């Protein structure tokens, strides 16, 4: 089966088993290894990507369901030659990243959450990240980073339409 979709803004096609998990195509065929395949059961959140702007676990997304969709991975948030996404910059500034395994999934889950919830409280931020497990247990600094990022966005007056992702 041939599946066509947008990947980080570019046209992409896949030829093969339509039940192949999206994460495997990202990592093995597109070499986008920022998306981590860890639990493969939807529990850990390390494989989170955006599909049509929604943060979803790519390990449980068969590629057949991605036909015609727009997929954004952590690599799509910033190319490396441009400014980081505000949340990535905030993670760096607060030194929230430890081993780095959960970090791409955290950013993908929380960037979508920030876009949709620009006035989120700390408990709401914590509720949004219950599906992203950090084995380094650096949760509080991650919450700090999100709260700080939202605060900066508010001060900069970037909240009218939510925060760009």
Partner 1 sequence: MAPGVERSFTAASTIEEALAARRQGAAVLAGGTWMMRDPRRGGELPEAVVALHRIPALSKVEIEPDHVVIGAAVTHAVLGRALHAAVGFEGLVGAAENAANPGIRRVATVGGNLCVLDFAAADLAPALLVCEATVELETFEGAKLLGISDFLKDRHTLLAEAIVTRIHLGRDLVASAHIRLPLRKAGDYPVAIVSIGVDKDKRCRIAVGSVEPVARRWTALEQAMRASPASALDPERAAELALEHNDFQGRDGKEAEGWYRRQVLPSLVKRGIAALLKTGGLAWL
Please choose, out of 38-46, 71-79, 136-144, 149-157, the segment that lies near partner 1 by the rule CB under 8 A: 38-46
Q: Which stretch binds partner 1 (CB under 8 A): 28-36, 64-72, 138-146, 153-161?
A: 64-72
Separation of alpha carbons 117 and 160, rounded Å: 11
Taking residues 102 to 141 in sequence order and writing x for each that binds partner 1 by CB under 8 A, - otherwise, the string is -------x---x-------------xx-xx-x--------
Interface with partner 1, residue 54, by CB under 8 A: yes
Cβ-based neighbour number of residue 118 at 10 Å: 16
Q: Which of 87, 133 has the CB closer to partner 1?
A: 133
101 belongs to the binding site for partner 1 (CB under 8 A): no
* Paired residues of 62 in beta bridges: 21
Q: Which segments of the chain does DSSP mark as H helices, in order?
A: 22-24, 74-77, 86-94, 103-116, 122-128, 139-155
Does 2 sit near partner 1 (CB under 8 A)? no
Label the pairing between strands 54-57 and 10-15. unpaired
The Cα–Cα gap between 105 and 39 comes to 12
Instruction: Give 50's Cβ-side CA count (13 Å radius).
Output: 23
Of 12-20, 96-104, 136-144, 152-160, the segment contacting partner 1 by CB under 8 A is 12-20
Residues that bind partner 1 (CB under 8 A): 1, 17-19, 21, 40-43, 45, 48, 54-57, 59-62, 64-65, 67, 109, 113, 127-128, 130-131, 133
């Amino acid at each position: 089966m041939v599946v066509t979709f947008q990947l980080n803004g570019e046209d992409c096609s896949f030829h093969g088993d339509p039940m192949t998990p999206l994460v495997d195509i990202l990592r093995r065929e597109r070499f986008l290894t920022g998306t981590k395949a860890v639990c493969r059961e939807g529990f850990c959140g390390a494989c989170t990507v955006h599909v049509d702007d929604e943060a979803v676990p790519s390990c449980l997304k068969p590629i057949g369901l991605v036909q015609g969709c727009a997929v954004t991975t952590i690599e799509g948030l910033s190319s490396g030659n441009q400014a980081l996404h505000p949340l990535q910059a905030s993670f760096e500034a607060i030194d929230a990243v430890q081993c780095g395994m959960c970090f791409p999934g955290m950013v993908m889950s929380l960037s979508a959450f920030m876009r949709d919830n620009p006035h989120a409280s700390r408990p709401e931020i914590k509720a949004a990240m219950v599906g992203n497990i950090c084995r380094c247990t650096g949760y509080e600094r991650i919450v700090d980073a999100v709260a700080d990022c939202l605060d900066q966005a508010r001060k900069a007056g970037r909240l009218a339409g939510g925060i760009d992702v």
